[in-house]
Amino acid sequence: MSDARISLSRWLSVPLPKPSARMRLFCFPYAGAGGSAYFAWTRALAHLPIEVCAVQPPGRENRLAELPYTVMEPLAAGAAAAIRESADRPYALFGHSMGALVAFEVLRRLRAVNAPLPVHVFVSAARRRTSAASSRRSTLFMAIVPFSPPSRVATAAFRRP
């Protein structure tokens, strides 16, 4: 599978490219992990028109030579820029644990620059966050899903056109 893997940027790794995919799923890893935590998802979602794009934070895996961030701002800003460049089709965000917090912050940055927004945001092992800067409480659509390759039942949300 590594021969087929492409990099849309240094921030994203696509283990199984699907040029005709109708949707991209950007996956944010938990603390201490890299994007390879989601490589098995490509096999689990192979029957669907979804391209899994694993977010590769600095200081992990192929970015090991880079210093990892110790604050959220540059992490979320870098990932948001990479996703904005790759938003040529509908997409969703998934984050597990700390990855859920990063996904939320990425969404805030995308919204702030009027970039195309995801059709869904999925999180696991995290509580709902609201923006302190917001004058109203905002609720994101969040589905609690297990951190493992998704089953056919869990992928039903992606089958919608």
Q: Do residues 26 and 89 lie in contact, with contact meaning Cβ atoms separated by under 8 Å?
A: no
Query: Could you give the angle at the alpha carbon of 103 between the alpha carbons of 97 and 104, nearest 5°?
Result: 100
The rounded distance, in Å, linking the Cα atoms of 18 and 146 is: 24
97 belongs to the catalytic site:
yes
The rounded distance, in Å, linking the Cα atoms of 53 and 28 is: 9
Listed residue (6, 160, 29) closest to 86, CA to CA: 6
Residue of 13, 97, 131, 151 marked active site: 97
Q: Give the active site residues.
A: 97
